[in-house]
Amino acid sequence: MPTVIVDGQEIEIGADERLNCIEAARRAGVEIPHYCWHPGLSVVASCRMCLIQAGSRNAETGAVSMIPKLVPGCQTPVKDGTVIVTDSELVRDSRARVEEALLIDHPIDCPICDKAGECLLQDYHFEHGQGERRADIHAFTSRRRDVGPTVTLFVDRCIMCTRCVRFTREVSGTAELMVSARGAKEEIDTFPGFPLENKLAGNVVDLCPVGALGDKDFLYQQRVWFLKKTANVCGGCSAGCSIVTEHNQDTVYRLKPRENPHVNKWWICDEGRYGWHHLHDQSRLVEATRRGSDGFEAVEWAGVVSQLRDDLTAAGRLAVAVSPQLTVEEAWMLCAVARSIDPEAFLAVGYVPMTGDDESFPGGFTIRAEKAPNRVGVETVLALFGAVGEDGNVPGWQELLQRVQTDTIKAAWVTAGYPTPDGSWCDDQTAAAFDGLDCLVVQDLFDSPLSARAHWRLPAAGFAERAGTWVNCGQHAQSFEQAIRPPAGVWPEGRLFWNMLGRQGLYDPTGVRQQIAENSAAFAALTGDLPATGVDLRLQQLAAT
């Protein structure tokens, strides 16, 4: 295995790995500061912050010969015997000078800049910069320029790393951002009439090392040091991009992508990035309500557990729509609950929203037309419960619609949780299919034509309010934590199903996952501690067979 020596420390890297000095040093726990390099973009080596000393160690004699000048760590590949020095005076002085150079004409905006607290210029200044200013004093504030509908640019804060320009060229393929003018007068800009307007535009804000590019959705909303970060998965489509939900006091402020080499690499689309506002929409259902003689009455959650079971048992044959918004654990418990009420309950996958076609971008990122995160997971759960039709397929929403219109089905439990505040996922005509039922339970985030007909309206959880596992369109399963609490004492699906199964104590998604993993070949991969980037379900399935 090739050995690389970083500041005297030896580390081994994979025989087939192609690493640069920054990546190799990271393996040794050494962080080489850098602005312009990004693993998902081309190498330009223009910021010069990553300059280090490199050399090689002779395999036989052990003699070390260093390249006499500084080299950029981002453009220098490592191989067996590469020596990297990051802590010499030469390197330290070089970093201090690059920092100084960037700060010479940087606006004094920290107190009003969103990036404060997560700004590389700030961080590197404290870590690597000089203590005192030597350049002439030039205190000014940045100009601001609109570059598109979702992104704003604070022109003078830019340090010309060109990550944003390279992103729009290489990853979104839209090339809206450019550099204009030359030398110290360079600025980021767009061509007149061609604003930054693509479905991946928000990623440039993540990429910007300083506060030049700002997300209009987040601008001035919250100081970043107040934000707590929870690893989640985006619920916007079946791609299942790994995200970080950043929140404070049960309020989400923004979503950011989480690096996942198996799914989304470093990016998320704008639809997913801004797809959290529905969580705080005022019209969310927050009470369990039951239709009485005088309209809907609120029911205490503890009472829901028994009353709901009584109502459904009394009604007769049960049909259940298991929403693709539910986690694997929730879907499994729901099926168990349904079968405990009616051993022959008809189980089907709930409505799966589809919009347009899959859309792929030059960097490889794909936005899926299937706008739900866990159809695959739900289908696999249903198959475990034997809910497979004669054609070998798990029944879906259309089949459920047909079934509930027959005389056999008397009750239906429709789990939904779709992020559409206007309830438009189910129109009146579709909802009418449920008219003849004795007991209709609708568990959703918002009112809809379907909930208007329900006998039970139960509030659902949003994606950031649940912990559990989703399986994306590529059979990749990811488990995530709960970020915020649901509003006003709502019992989200997991908690309700757990209690309806008669289990004691708090809902334990990890325990349920473990139980599912131990009892099924399909989910065998979900056992134990899962990596933050998830697992491919198929691996263990192959092993099991």
Partner 1 sequence: MSESQSFEPVLLEAVGVENGHSFESYRGRGGYAPLEKLLAEKQPPEVVEMVKSSGLRGRGGAGFMTGLKWTFLPKDHPGPIYLCVNADESEPGTFNNRILMEDDPHQILEGTIISAYATRASTAYIYLRYEYPQSWNALQAAIDEAYAAGYLGQNIKGSGFSLDIYLHRGAAAYICGEETGLIESLEGKRAWPRIKPPFPAIEGAFRKPTVVNNIETMACVAQIARRGVDWFRSIGVPADPNNPRDPGSYGPKLYCLSGHVEKPGCYEAPLGITARELIDQFGGGVWKGRRAKAVIPGGISMGLLSEAELDTPLDFAGPGKAGCLGLGTAAVVVIDETVSIVDFLHNSCRFFAHESCGQCTPCREGTSWSLRMLERIRAGKGRLKDLDLLAEIGNTMGMMPGSTICGLADGAAWPIKNAIAKFRDEFEEYIKQSNPTGYMETDPVPALPILSAH
Q: Does 105 bind partner 1 (CB under 8 A)?
A: yes
Among 61, 63, 134, 542, binds partner 1 (CB under 8 A): 134
Which uninterrupted H or E stretch holds 499? helix 493-500
Q: Does 75 bind partner 1 (CB under 8 A)?
A: yes
Q: Does 51 bind partner 1 (CB under 8 A)?
A: yes
Calpha distance 214→488 (Å, rounded): 32
Smallest gap from Cβ 363 to partner 1, in A, equals 20
**HSE-up of residue 310 (Cα within 13 Å, Cβ side):** 6
**CB nearer to partner 1: pick between 179 and 432:** 179
**CB nearer to partner 1: pick between 46 and 420:** 46
Q: Does 49 bind partner 1 (CB under 8 A)?
A: yes
Report how many residues bind partner 1 under the rule CB under 8 A. Answer: 38
Calpha distance 419→528 (Å, rounded): 31
Q: Does 47 bind partner 1 (CB under 8 A)?
A: yes
**CB nearer to partner 1: pick between 1 and 137:** 137
Which uninterrupted H or E stretch holds 302? helix 301-315
State how beta strands 411-415 and 318-322 pair.
parallel
Calpha distance 479→139 (Å, rounded): 48
Stretch that binds partner 1, among 62-70, 366-374, 413-421, 432-440 (CB under 8 A): 62-70
Interface characters, 214-253, with partner 1 (x: CB under 8 A):
----------------------------------------
Smallest gap from Cβ 134 to partner 1, in A, equals 6
Stretch that binds partner 1, among 39-47, 58-66, 243-251, 359-367 (CB under 8 A): 39-47
Q: Does 135 bind partner 1 (CB under 8 A)?
A: yes
Q: Does 142 bind partner 1 (CB under 8 A)?
A: no
Smallest gap from Cβ 164 to partner 1, in A, equals 14
Phi, psi of 446 (to 5 degrees): -135, 165
Quote the radius of gyration of the chain (alpha carbons, Å): 27
Q: Does 131 bind partner 1 (CB under 8 A)?
A: no
DSSP letter string, 44-111:
---S-TTEEEEEEE-TTT--EEE-SS-EETTT-B--TTEEEE-SSHHHHHHHHHHHHHHHHT--S-GG
Burial class (CB in 10 A: 0-12, 13-18, 19+), 282: exposed
Smallest gap from Cβ 67 to partner 1, in A, equals 8
Question: What CA dihedral angle connects 321, 494, 534 and 206, to 10 degrees?
Answer: 100
Smallest gap from Cβ 159 to partner 1, in A, equals 8
Among 28, 43, 66, 369, binds partner 1 (CB under 8 A): 43
Which uninterrupted H or E stretch holds 232? strand 228-233
- Catalog residues that contact partner 1 under the rule CB under 8 A: 43-49, 51, 67, 69-72, 75, 93-94, 97-98, 101-102, 104-105, 133-138, 159-160, 162, 179, 181-186
